[in-house]
Amino acid sequence: MREALPEWPLFGMADDVRPALRQAQQGKTPLALATLTSVEGGGPRPPGTQMVFADGIVAGYFSGGCVESDVADHALACLADGTPRRLIYGAGSPWPDIQLLCGARIEIFVERVASDDPALAELLKAQDERRSVVWISDGVKRLCATSAQPWDGAIVQAYDPTPRLVVFGADPTALAIASLGAQSGFETTLVRPKGPQAPPPLPGVAYRRDEPQAALAAIGTDAWTAIAIATHNLDLDQEALAAALPSAAGYVGLLGARKRLPERLAPLRAAGFPEARLQQLHAPIGLDIGGKAPWEVALSVIGEIVALRHARTSSEPRAATPKRETA
């Protein structure tokens, strides 16, 4: 008999289940990994969504309450006998009393993974090293590698590095961007050159006091890194831009009014920065949602970063969104 799921499903707020996988591995606890493999009819979660079940661990969600308890029962049975399961909810389900309110049909694959499984170790190592990998498994045989050919009956799940956010600044807007970034699952660092010794009281936000070039070199940048420059200091903005634009960061945004953008970019053009890279700068930063309060700007910035990430992985990229004028 398993424990009931918590009445408040905070376990579903984190989209990335790798922290839960790591927790189970470190606790030497076998886990049940459930993967949403098919969605028909507009379900609330896309294929590839996952849940993890282990002793004292629940993470992820599939439907917002329609099927999670039943999946938990099957996960417990999978942990007990090691036999993988393929679950169907909606049309064709053997459990017609369990219906998704949206009317969708979903398929879920459940597998038992030992805490010392080599594929699990490779998945978590790849996360630490910020490498993209694929997980291929039929519930008995599994492999985690940079690339591999799946076999009949196996599911394939891709994992990218955890999104990273670097925020330059110190005012309430910068603090709001960093805080919301951390809450949204980004590995977040606030950079305030020559700032106070004490870090900002923001849960999940790292802090650095060095200059922009040194800070980015220490943090590291790649295609999954977003940089938000919000210092309200023209000289520091220039230093941060000069460090951020040549980097491998997939997103660089600058807080400020559109009418002042040419004069702010002029020194960079004079220094020989490629025009193509300057055109990739998101300025003014964020989606045009009409608000200028710190949390409103933060929402627009995180929203723009997430929207662009999904546009890059979508077969139908969304249209560009008009920019907002900011002071």
Angle at 254 between CA 250 and CA 260, to 5 degrees: 140
> Beta-carbon neighbour count of residue 83 at 10 Å?
12
**Measured distance CA(99)–CA(108) in Å, rounded:** 14
Question: In which residue ranges of the chain is CATH 3.40.50.720 found?
Answer: 164-313
Class of domain 164-313: alpha beta
Per-residue pLDDT tens digits of the chain, which is 327 residues long: 578 898 899 999 989 999 999 999 999 999 999 999 999 987 789 999 999 999 999 999 998 777 999 999 999 999 999 999 999 998 878 887 777 777 788 999 999 999 999 999 999 999 999 999 999 999 999 999 998 899 999 999 999 999 999 999 999 999 999 999 999 999 999 999 999 999 999 999 999 999 999 999 999 999 999 999 999 898 999 999 999 999 999 999 999 888 888 888 888 888 888 888 888 899 999 999 999 999 999 999 999 999 999 886 654 433 333 334 444
For residue 238, what is the enclosing H or E element?
Answer: helix 234-244
Write out the H or E segment, with its range, that includes residue 231.
none
Of 81, 10, 23, 83, residue with least CA distance to 53:
23
- Nearest Cα to 238, choosing from 220, 258, 210, 213? 213
Alpha-carbon gap, residue 243 to 41, rounded angstroms:
46
Backbone angles phi, psi at 76, to 5 degrees: -65, -40
